[in-house]
Structure 1
Amino acid sequence: MSVDAADDPVQFDDVTGSESDTFPKPRAHGAAVMNHLADVDDSTAQGSDRGTLYDRSLAYWREHIGDRDLEPHVAVDDFEVDWLPPGDYALVLTSSRWKAGTGRGDDYRSYYEQHLKLREWGPEDDDGERELRKPALALHVEIMPQFRDMVYKSGDPLECPYGEGTRLLAWTTWAEDPFEIERRMYDALRAVYGTDAVDLDDRVDDARRVPKAEAHIRFAIGKKNAAVETLEQSKQLIDWGGESEIDAHQRRQQEGWLEALVESDRWHLLGFDPQRYSTEVKIYQANQWHKKPKTDPFHHPKLEASYAGVDRGELPHVSEWDDVLEHLRTVVATHARWAGIDRSDLVADDFFDGPESAPWEFERPTGRRNMLRQRYEDLATDIYREALKESTTAVYDILRVIAEHDGANYDTLVERTGLARSTVRYHVRRLAETGVVSREGNPVMVF
């Protein structure tokens, strides 16, 4: 759902501030780093004879694979490096049609980018065979050409902002800094294409950019409803503040069930430091999570903030990594605080220490309760004016759920608000006595 900005944005400057807080440090998760190698040896050469890493990767593909039907190709069947957890790993190669090529019209021919991927060997089956699977610590390196004689299919010339050579893009998980991402990328490239495949003297420092970064916590499922409601409140407040378009979703994705998602470039309306990129905050769970026991970490949801590129201007440089992660971690920790998630509610897994995570100091935005009060007061309805009489947001949440569902039973109110059933019953009874809501039927529906 896309929510348009308000015509008359509300100013929160008089209610927002910040205060120092401490929370277990959210874990860096998925991230990507881009490099450009100015590695053209012969600028007068054509085709794949310019001496670049891309040329070397294409020559390897032609010699060892030669047919896309033979992909994925196991390039290294025993990949050993010190940054991998225990296990047996391999590097595989695939290719895909790239966005640019040579020629025009019927003579247009696309170039192909090369994909180098980390895989883990599974256990042997009854026939002694082992399947390759994607590991928890992922790595995917894209190798792309950057030549000025290339064109898009439309005929427009390929843009080469950092000159000619090879563009590299590495996607990985569980890396705490961009230099670790680069190290993993170089290790994989050298394992396949030779120890001299990457010459750091060819690396253009200004091209070392961060297209993606994430930070998250895993928390007990009993806090999920409160977290979803907190994120819903943030969505409403940003929309009320205006100047932004918000995307909100609840759908099944490939990785599991997405409970809630808000993407905006105006999180500063809630008191966070302004950023030049959009931030996405989501709550999601693993596929088939409900079939896993509560002792399994994957039974429990994640709260994650991520950055994925910019609409205008340049991507953050690797030197800005700490600032990017600071913002993402602050958004995660603050929403956890707002949702009542404490250290004891965190759940450890293979990469996140949960309640044993190191303490982390951050500046938490304040004034949320006042913002919520202003939000509901601005709606100017008798129902929300009744809600303003309470010193808690419980009534706000109960009334909003009733309004969204055109009536709700006690089970729905408990699930959507995260409140105890006794608390829900108390507020519903009081609201019914004052005529704000009515109770009908058996089981009781509240309208």
Structure 2
Amino acid sequence: MSVDAADDPVQFDDVTGSESDTFPKPRAHGAAVMNHLADVQEPNAGRSADRGTLYDRSLSYWREHVGDRDLEPHVAVEDFEADWLPSGDYALVLTSSRWKAGTGRGDDYRAYYEQHLKLREWGSEDDNGERDLRKPPLALHVEIMPQFREMVYKSGDPLECPYGEGTRLLAWTTWAEDPFEMERRMYDALRAVYGADAVDLDDRVDDARRLPKAEAHIRFHIDKKNALVETLDQSKQLIDWGGESEIEAHQRRQKEGWLEALVESDRWHLLGFDPKRYSTEMKIYQANQWHKKPRSDPFHHPKLEASYAGVDRGELPHVSEWDEVLDHLRTVVATHARWAGIERSDLIEDDFFDGPMSPPWDFERPTGRREMLRQRYEDLATDIYREALKESTTAVYDILRVIAEHDGATYDALEERTGLARSTIRYHVRRLAETGVVSREGNPVMVFFVSRVVLERAREILREVYPDDTVEQQDERAKERRERRESDDRQPATDGSETSESDSEPDSIGFEYLERLSASIHDLAYLRDRDQLDDRDVRVRADELPPPLR
């Protein structure tokens, strides 16, 4: 994605610089490389004829050796060997899938099928002498796709062939340190299945050698997880605060702390990193069932990973830009590790990452983060003061106090402790979330302050705003609100009657038949998943439901 730093209201040059630093080198992980072979030998041949391309050869192989998709996956090479493979017994399997383009229009449309070569590892023999195939840690998946100008999408729109006709190749792999290694693995697999002459590098279009994906990561001790998640969450806040960034964040919070965090943005330059034309994703993640593994097992401990996966506009990076891409990802990883206080001794060794023994790596670390956070928290403190001191109502003060007292609260807890109507709570929480004071996560929804620093500052502010407020007074306000709402429910309001806090909010609930709305049932489900509607916002006619759903 293209970036124009001049459009941002806050420039990182105003608050950050950089300084030289050294950190253990983050490991390259998953990556992908794309090739195009201009290998058409018979340009005038029709669809049913062989044009001499690698794609045609792969299709002929499938027809001869497989012939039926029900027989997939087909073991194409039972004993695959390569000098880049770890010790073990490997195979190459073949599958196929309907591709996005074909020929013909309307009822005459027929899709092409792309071919997939996948690396698999043989397991141990069972009691019957059988061995199963499994995906190995060092992965390889090669896609073989046609590129012919007469091809169209099912809609009838023509397929673009930016590099001409021939065969498009896409290889996904792990633990490769450069794109040339990725290409070599791809060519080895293709030649093992389709013959030594399957790939002629003279047919390769150099400009088409592109990088759709790249990753870099470290594995670190689980005791540092909360600090690193807090650091990543601070980056999310600063990026979102510093400009109109496109940002996504997914975080899951449980009693023992943060289990996962993910931030994706195209505006990391707001933190002092070099601007890039693509989005960068940062995530903290752990293996399945990690909590059942002993602390001595590397898979008990989480990873911090930076990755990029394509661009929204323009061309993908060329293979010659690999070092630049990896340097950026490694810089983002190493910088966040430094910000979280992770040292060499906190790194965890596994089969592919050397942990504390990783070689030193020099990089430029952005500075000024402390000042950026101070400015951000001052802005949030002002928002909290303004909300807590509202003259017209103490509703927001009570909501903030419950969240602060319990380090987070559900809507049910807020309703119980404040006495406010659910619609009133949701209205105020939504406003607080839009200003960046609180976040809403999970199902049931948990509302909490966006960071530990903001939580502690909020507690100070709430004590300053109403220093003499007691729990008994808070409970009394909640009781009065409940009684007022119950009274309003029993007696319709008349002209001149006093309006309650809950009735004064702009989002009071009213129900309407679905057929009279512009929304569909799928729209409602989408809004429910995003916490813009909750269980009390949707009614269902129960007498028409099947018994299991009643």
Post-superposition shift, 1:419?
A: 33
Post-superposition shift, 1:430?
A: 29
Structure with the higher fraction of residues in helix conformation = 2
| Cα distance, 1:374–1:438 mapped onto 2, change above 3 Å | closer
Q: After alignment, is 138-147 or 420-429 more displaced?
A: 420-429
Computed over aligned residues only, the root mean square deviation of the Cα atoms, in angstroms, reads: 8.2
Post-superposition shift, 1:415?
A: 25
Q: After alignment, is 378-387 or 228-237 more displaced?
A: 378-387
TM-score (norm 1): 0.85
Asked if the contact 1:283–1:302 (Cα under 8 Å) also holds between the matched residues in 2, the reply is: yes
Asked if the contact 1:229–1:417 (Cα under 8 Å) also holds between the matched residues in 2, the reply is: no
Higher RCO (Cα < 8 Å, 6 or more apart)? 1
Aligned partner of residue 286 in structure 1, secondary structure: coil
Post-superposition shift, 1:442?
A: 26
Aligned partner of residue 373 in structure 1, secondary structure: helix
| Cα distance, 1:3–1:231 mapped onto 2, change above 3 Å | farther
Asked if the contact 1:29–1:174 (Cα under 8 Å) also holds between the matched residues in 2, the reply is: yes
Q: Give distance in 2, aligned partners of 1:433 and 1:156.
A: 41
Q: Give distance in 1, aligned partners of 2:122 and 2:346.
A: 34
Q: Give distance in 1, aligned partners of 2:442 and 2:111.
A: 66
Q: After alignment, is 332-341 or 413-422 more displaced?
A: 413-422
Q: Give distance in 1, aligned partners of 2:209 and 2:37.
A: 10
Post-superposition shift, 1:413?
A: 19
| Cα distance, 1:137–1:154 mapped onto 2, change above 3 Å | same
| Cα distance, 1:30–1:272 mapped onto 2, change above 3 Å | same
Aligned partner of residue 214 in structure 1, secondary structure: strand
Asked if the contact 1:5–1:240 (Cα under 8 Å) also holds between the matched residues in 2, the reply is: no
| Cα distance, 1:237–1:440 mapped onto 2, change above 3 Å | closer
Post-superposition shift, 1:303?
A: 0.1
Asked if the contact 2:219–2:348 (Cα under 8 Å) also holds between the matched residues in 1, the reply is: yes
| Cα distance, 1:237–1:121 mapped onto 2, change above 3 Å | same
Q: Give distance in 2, aligned partners of 1:159 and 1:286.
A: 40
1:100-130 CA deviation, whole Å, 9 max, x = no partner? 0000000000000000000000000111100
Aligned partner of residue 286 in structure 2, secondary structure: strand
Aligned partner of residue 78 in structure 1, secondary structure: strand
| Cα distance, 1:162–1:441 mapped onto 2, change above 3 Å | closer
Asked if the contact 1:3–1:239 (Cα under 8 Å) also holds between the matched residues in 2, the reply is: no
Q: After alignment, is 363-372 or 9-18 more displaced?
A: 9-18
Post-superposition shift, 1:13?
A: 2.3
| Cα distance, 1:56–1:178 mapped onto 2, change above 3 Å | same
Q: Give distance in 1, aligned partners of 2:163 and 2:367.
A: 43
- In structure 1, stretches of 5+ residues that fail to align are none
Q: After alignment, is 96-105 or 416-425 more displaced?
A: 416-425
1:74-96 CA deviation, whole Å, 9 max, x = no partner? 00000011000000000000000
Flag the structure with larger Rg: 2
Asked if the contact 1:48–1:58 (Cα under 8 Å) also holds between the matched residues in 2, the reply is: no
Asked if the contact 1:100–1:110 (Cα under 8 Å) also holds between the matched residues in 2, the reply is: yes
- In structure 2, stretches of 5+ residues that fail to align are 447-550
Asked if the contact 2:251–2:441 (Cα under 8 Å) also holds between the matched residues in 1, the reply is: no
Asked if the contact 2:2–2:278 (Cα under 8 Å) also holds between the matched residues in 1, the reply is: no
Name the counterpart of 2:110: 109
Q: Give distance in 1, aligned partners of 2:280 and 2:272.
A: 14
Post-superposition shift, 1:392?
A: 33
| Cα distance, 1:118–1:405 mapped onto 2, change above 3 Å | farther
Structure with the higher fraction of residues in strand conformation = 1
Asked if the contact 1:123–1:130 (Cα under 8 Å) also holds between the matched residues in 2, the reply is: yes
Asked if the contact 2:245–2:266 (Cα under 8 Å) also holds between the matched residues in 1, the reply is: yes
Post-superposition shift, 1:440?
A: 24
Name the counterpart of 2:491: none
Asked if the contact 1:346–1:354 (Cα under 8 Å) also holds between the matched residues in 2, the reply is: yes
Aligned partner of residue 117 in structure 2, secondary structure: strand
| Cα distance, 1:382–1:236 mapped onto 2, change above 3 Å | closer
Q: Give distance in 2, aligned partners of 1:356 and 1:415.
A: 53
Q: Percent identical across equivalent pairs? A: 90
TM-score (norm 2): 0.69
Aligned partner of residue 5 in structure 2, secondary structure: coil
Aligned partner of residue 13 in structure 1, secondary structure: helix
Aligned partner of residue 2 in structure 1, secondary structure: coil
- Is 1:387 the equivalent of 2:388? yes
1:217-238 CA deviation, whole Å, 9 max, x = no partner? 0000000000111000000000
Asked if the contact 2:175–2:352 (Cα under 8 Å) also holds between the matched residues in 1, the reply is: yes
Q: After alignment, is 298-307 or 240-249 more displaced?
A: 240-249
Q: Give distance in 1, aligned partners of 2:38 and 2:365.
A: 43
Q: After alignment, is 427-436 or 235-244 more displaced?
A: 427-436
| Cα distance, 1:113–1:84 mapped onto 2, change above 3 Å | same
Q: Give distance in 2, aligned partners of 1:379 and 1:228.
A: 20
1:263-318 CA deviation, whole Å, 9 max, x = no partner? 00000000000000000000000000000011110000000000000000000000
Asked if the contact 1:249–1:258 (Cα under 8 Å) also holds between the matched residues in 2, the reply is: no
Asked if the contact 2:229–2:258 (Cα under 8 Å) also holds between the matched residues in 1, the reply is: no
| Cα distance, 1:213–1:419 mapped onto 2, change above 3 Å | farther
Q: Give distance in 2, aligned partners of 1:85 and 1:392.
A: 67
Aligned partner of residue 259 in structure 2, secondary structure: strand
Q: After alignment, is 295-304 or 396-405 more displaced?
A: 396-405
Q: Give distance in 2, aligned partners of 1:16 and 1:233.
A: 15
Post-superposition shift, 1:411?
A: 21
| Cα distance, 1:414–1:278 mapped onto 2, change above 3 Å | farther
Q: Give distance in 2, aligned partners of 1:34 and 1:253.
A: 40
